[in-house]
């Protein structure tokens, strides 16, 4: 869901604590004090109504923080993610796949989301060209018949940018011709 929110139209809304992996199963439970690295917390063993539940450790999820930072950086570095027009490319309810394109000036971004517990091979019809997955640091090329094929991991996604999106001084993202 975070990948969708950070690449979709408009300003992303991050709820208090999402970026560190906080949760609240019930409404009142969602209004907990912020979790900070510098503090130590007792494990949660019951809801705010004192109903026992499985033990849950209370700590910052550093992988989640890194994921939010990565997505924020991608959003800030590429205008197409913030300002681009929107077009749905694929909806696959059976495999829980959704893909859309953002276009701005000469730049295009294709976002592919897999909300399934299984990974899936996704094929999209796109114009010729080279694409760079800036989330997973992989390169793709559209085949002669106009298809781009990508494996999408379970509950994961890709942010593919067309070659026209790269800054000329961004050496590590340049693609070979």
- Structural domains in the chain plus CATH codes: 84-173 (2.60.40.1180)
Contact 47, 29 (CB under 8 A): yes
pLDDT value of position 18: 83
pLDDT value of position 168: 45
pLDDT value of position 155: 96
Q: Torsion-angle region of residue 136: left (phi > 0), alpha (psi -120 to 50) or beta? A: alpha
pLDDT value of position 33: 77
3-state secondary structure at position 3: helix
pLDDT value of position 167: 54
Contact 40, 58 (CB under 8 A): no
Q: In the beta sheet, which residues pair with residue 99?
A: 90, 112
Mean pLDDT by 10 residues, the chain (177 residues): 94 85 62 83 79 84 94 95 97 98 95 98 92 95 93 97 71 47
Report d(CA 174, CA 167) in Å as an integer. 8
pLDDT value of position 93: 98
pLDDT value of position 163: 87
pLDDT value of position 147: 95
């Amino acid at each position: 869901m975070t990948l969708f929110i950070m690449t979709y139209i408009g300003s992303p809304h991050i709820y208090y604590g999402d970026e560190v992996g906080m949760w609240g199963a019930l409404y009142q439970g969602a209004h907990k004090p912020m979790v900070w690295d510098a503090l130590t917390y007792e494990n949660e063993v019951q809801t705010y109504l004192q109903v026992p539940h499985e033990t849950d450790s209370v700590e910052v999820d550093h992988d989640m923080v890194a994921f939010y930072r990565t997505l924020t950086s991608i959003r800030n570095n590429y205008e197409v993610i913030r300002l681009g027009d929107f077009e749905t490319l694929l909806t696959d309810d059976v495999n829980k796949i959704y893909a859309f394109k953002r276009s701005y000036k000469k730049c295009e971004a294709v976002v592919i989301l897999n909300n399934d517990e299984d990974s899936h091979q996704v094929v999209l019809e796109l114009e010729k060209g080279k694409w760079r997955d800036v989330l997973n640091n992989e390169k793709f090329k559209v085949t002669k018949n106009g298809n781009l094929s990508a494996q999408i991991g379970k509950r994961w996604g890709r942010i593919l940018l067309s070659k026209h999106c790269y800054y000329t001084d961004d050496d590590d993202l340049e693609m070979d011709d």
